[in-house]
Structure 1
């Protein structure tokens, strides 16, 4: 339903971006588009946006393979093993692409034939809610729009940001632009009109879209509505901080980028209010949370990017102090928003989010330890022209283990440590996210990195369906123990209303090695005390007098609670 008040606010935002005349013309075209869409689409009724039963699985469409349609293999695996544990699948870009494992898109609307087709996606959607990436900062240089740009088609002349020898930015202007990569910001292309230098924030074959052109915004809205028509529940907006460019600034987190997200939220509020927006903003925490706006006007969700490095630091040191202090200050602007609690993803473990939380020395020591554990490090350009670590690349299992046999504990302790870290992401206020490789406790894939030269491929291993099932069903295998141990934690989480994403949360400072929380259901009727020992030594914490029931061990205990090395206890008061 088209809402007059939202329409008015959207007009103001379009005028802010494009000026009075162009803003109003864009508004007219947008309203026409929304009216056409509304005639053909009926939004679903949403009883509540978030629930304690929300658990998201991240996976590529071809990560599990069995025949010519990998998405079907994924659906078969998920139906058999995850149906009652995971309710949402984040299917990473499955559209036609030429590189970057799907994020260099050549066609926004066609499913890559190597993965399957829209019918396969629909079958997955019948069993799970679906999260889909809207890669809106850039496209592949093989995309139709850019090919027409190179041919001199005037319609696409301003779809991209380009310069020639007559108007090249100064070195001072380029130096101010925040660079998440070591590659050049401007990439040279030959066009029918001569040599042009095109803005490329990420790899040189991914050309940034020009949102100063309102037609680009309208194109992206058309793509977004197409995804909504396919039944998407959550739209992940990729690389949002880089959307708007303005020479003389860092071109990062500019107000205009926020306005674009707000316009997309306005559109969904009018025609598909059941669809949620997740903004991917791998930037310092204070900038990341600003994409939640006032709690009702921008993103519904952002990632909890500081969580992975802070948790790794806590495990490495056996000291959860930084993690506890950081969690204590986390605030949700409204019941309409939530943090997505990630540990590992298809990307690396970002370091920008903990700048100002961990000291430079603590970050350096953590990065060095990760390399000792077999990890890789990806770098970015620093403002001084040098290089600095941008992310650590490794699987979560290898991040927490030592590759040296002389220092490696026995397998039981390794698994306990691994699951203790996973339990924290499940217990924290917010929506837990599980990456397929993390669910399986996968090892670093150095062979994959050697094939592609991309550090991120260390944690993007693919699996043959039959081999994977055999490994999972082998009760003596490490994969079996990790997989079912993880699922047991998930089952406990989704059974307790106290773990609702919008329930209460209180941090307990009981012992620096024990990450401790009190979680309370939104109606305040149910409470769980979540205790996680992140050290290799036994610890005792003192609670209030009384009897407690441990959801994990199914045993009772009293106020003096003992935790073995890396033990997890989720306690309910009797």
Structure 2
């Protein structure tokens, strides 16, 4: 007999809160989510995706129109330009905020008035799968909860994590160079609050079950507004224990299981995605046993793919791909090569050596990029991420500098991403091939602003209508590639994948559909020189008819040679 929801919750909660009345907490969580205590779980290992799923990542106000709320403009842009291109849209935090372009939330239940209202969010959710951030690790120092913390009243009095400067914090893993503890004056004296990211982003105290219950109410509200994909922002840092690294602790994993359990009982096809910008082996743990994240961000892909294309050598990318376990049914990877943040370097730990990382950093800086740092346990500052627009990151090579292959290199990167196991996600500035925004960096003083620019709608439309602009060339070809990808059963996010060994200048892998009716050999020249591969090295089945899906070219001589121009890709399908 299967366990009921309340009994499952109690068992999970006892791991996190051994000294608390977990039956009462479970009752509160079930009530917050408007669930039945004896509700049965949805079937396990269900895939909530297929080859047609493509995600767009954007801020609410990336595309603007004078005298119109940006969420209204965004809906028009989606409908006019992307309706047949994407299936889901991730709107980065659209709540009132005080810093970090939305990730310092002041009110989880409100839409930033300058962006629009909940009716605009619901309008987008009606036509696209809506992905929203659950900014769960921290909250704005200007929020009502934190003001109540200062006044020592509820709700908020015990909602934020406090540290002691005398504690042993030497092992704490940091993503920033700012102080971990921030002193604040409260109505009963000075207290030190824990700030993983900045003094304006105060970490929440999940050791208090009331905080978990509050987030259950928030999640329920989002589900009722149409959110179907939850991105758990910075979730790896959720649980703190002085004397430990305070990252990936067991209580964090248990809390993710609890949130997923609640979400899927309310909406069986809702999806939980964890955002954990950490080394690859650590990232993979967030699948749990197919009971934590439905999907994890493939954080090693962006730096390894960029490194591959600027060095003309796919050794590290190929080694990484061979090491990646197939995702269990009901789980998958979220593949991306650019986002609102920088290109993380921690995910290359154990994959690139320090000299290779430095060469990559030097190349990105020569293409106009910036570098952000984090502080290690021994007090040293280490490169944390490279801040650069993907269009500019691929403008040349490490050896030769900028060249005339920028567009081809840029398209090659996306062709690889589109074919890999997992769901592809396009950052809006990559879909539009936007350049580095140095003026915005100068205005904000933040390196991440280099890839967080804004477009006026008429400027976007003009750029995309101009056949000579690189924006139009990139966008038109990306739309074509996406349309091809979406029609292939072998590109199901969970279809079989094997790495091919074709040398260091050709990056290849094989995909086979889940019913085995289609195979696709994906081969990419990642160098600036013509490359050839003998078709006998690919082992195409002689009884099948093979065609390159990208060019329409039929492959008639299976004993012949395939010639690829610099950065050319082929998807050979039967």
Answer whether TM exceeds 0.5 for this pair.
Answer: yes
Once the two structures are superposed, what CA deviation does each residue of 1:445-498 show, in whole Å capped at 9, x if it has no partner?
111111111111100010000111011001111110011111111111101111
1:511 matched to 2:520? The reply is no
Q: 1: CA distance between counterparts of 2:463 and 2:21?
A: 59
Once the two structures are superposed, what CA deviation does each residue of 1:51-92 show, in whole Å capped at 9, x if it has no partner?
000100000000000133111111111111111111000010
Q: 2: CA distance between counterparts of 1:91 and 1:324?
A: 32
**Does the CA contact (< 8 Å) of 2:160 and 2:193 recur in 1?**
yes
Shift of 1:34: 3.4
Q: 2: CA distance between counterparts of 1:72 and 1:16?
A: 44
Q: 2: CA distance between counterparts of 1:521 and 1:432?
A: 17
* Further displaced range: 82-91 or 556-565: 556-565
Give the match for residue 452 of structure 1.
Answer: 444
Give the match for residue 151 of structure 1.
Answer: 151
Measured at CA, do residues 13 and 38 of structure 1 come closer, stay the same or move farther in structure 2, by a change above 3 Å? closer
**Does the CA contact (< 8 Å) of 2:47 and 2:330 recur in 1?**
no
Shift of 1:24: 2.8
Give the match for residue 207 of structure 2.
Answer: 212
Give the match for residue 303 of structure 1.
Answer: 297
Shift of 1:387: 0.5
Q: 2: CA distance between counterparts of 1:179 and 1:74?
A: 35
Q: 2: CA distance between counterparts of 1:186 and 1:519?
A: 48
Shift of 1:409: 2.4
1:375 matched to 2:335? The reply is no
Measured at CA, do residues 35 and 461 of structure 1 come closer, stay the same or move farther in structure 2, by a change above 3 Å? closer
Once the two structures are superposed, what CA deviation does each residue of 1:506-552 show, in whole Å capped at 9, x if it has no partner?
11111211111111111011111111110011111122365531111
Aligned 1:336-415 pairs, distance under 5 A: 336-402=330-396, 407-410=401-404, 413-415=405-407
Once the two structures are superposed, what CA deviation does each residue of 1:240-277 show, in whole Å capped at 9, x if it has no partner?
11000000001011000000000011112322111110
Local SS of the residue matching 1:104: coil
Local SS of the residue matching 2:106: strand
Q: Mind listing any 5+ residue stretches in structure 1 that lack a counterpart?
A: none
TM-score (norm: length of structure 2): 0.94
**Does the CA contact (< 8 Å) of 1:17 and 1:23 recur in 2?**
no
Shift of 1:291: 0.6
Shift of 1:222: 0.8
Shift of 1:333: 4.2
Give the match for residue 111 of structure 1.
Answer: 111
Q: 2: CA distance between counterparts of 1:443 and 1:32?
A: 48
Give the match for residue 53 of structure 1.
Answer: 52
Give the match for residue 177 of structure 2.
Answer: 182
Shift of 1:312: 1.2
Give runs of ≥4 in structure 1 deviating > 4 Å: 36-39
**Does the CA contact (< 8 Å) of 2:310 and 2:397 recur in 1?**
no
Aligned 1:395-474 pairs, distance under 5 A: 395-402=389-396, 407-410=401-404, 413-474=405-466
The number of aligned residues is 559
**Does the CA contact (< 8 Å) of 1:68 and 1:115 recur in 2?**
no
**Does the CA contact (< 8 Å) of 1:58 and 1:434 recur in 2?**
yes
**Does the CA contact (< 8 Å) of 1:508 and 1:517 recur in 2?**
yes
Shift of 1:37: 8.3
1:262 matched to 2:257? The reply is yes
Shift of 1:120: 1.1
1:562 matched to 2:554? The reply is no
**Does the CA contact (< 8 Å) of 2:412 and 2:526 recur in 1?**
yes
**Does the CA contact (< 8 Å) of 2:145 and 2:157 recur in 1?**
no
Shift of 1:197: 1.3
Among candidates 232, 251, 257, match of residue 237 of structure 1: 232
Give the match for residue 284 of structure 2.
Answer: 289
Once the two structures are superposed, what CA deviation does each residue of 1:274-330 show, in whole Å capped at 9, x if it has no partner?
1110000111111111110112x1110001111011111111211111111211121
Q: Mind listing any 5+ residue stretches in structure 2 that lack a counterpart?
A: none
Local SS of the residue matching 1:347: coil
Root mean square deviation, CA, Å:
2.1
Give the match for residue 17 of structure 1.
Answer: 16
Shift of 1:47: 8.2
Q: 1: CA distance between counterparts of 2:294 and 2:154?
A: 37
Q: 2: CA distance between counterparts of 1:81 and 1:390?
A: 35
Give the match for residue 314 of structure 2.
Answer: 320
Shift of 1:154: 5.3
Measured at CA, do residues 403 and 551 of structure 1 come closer, stay the same or move farther in structure 2, by a change above 3 Å? closer
Q: 1: CA distance between counterparts of 2:441 and 2:124?
A: 29
**Does the CA contact (< 8 Å) of 2:145 and 2:155 recur in 1?**
no
Local SS of the residue matching 2:276: coil
Local SS of the residue matching 1:519: strand
Q: 2: CA distance between counterparts of 1:286 and 1:15?
A: 27
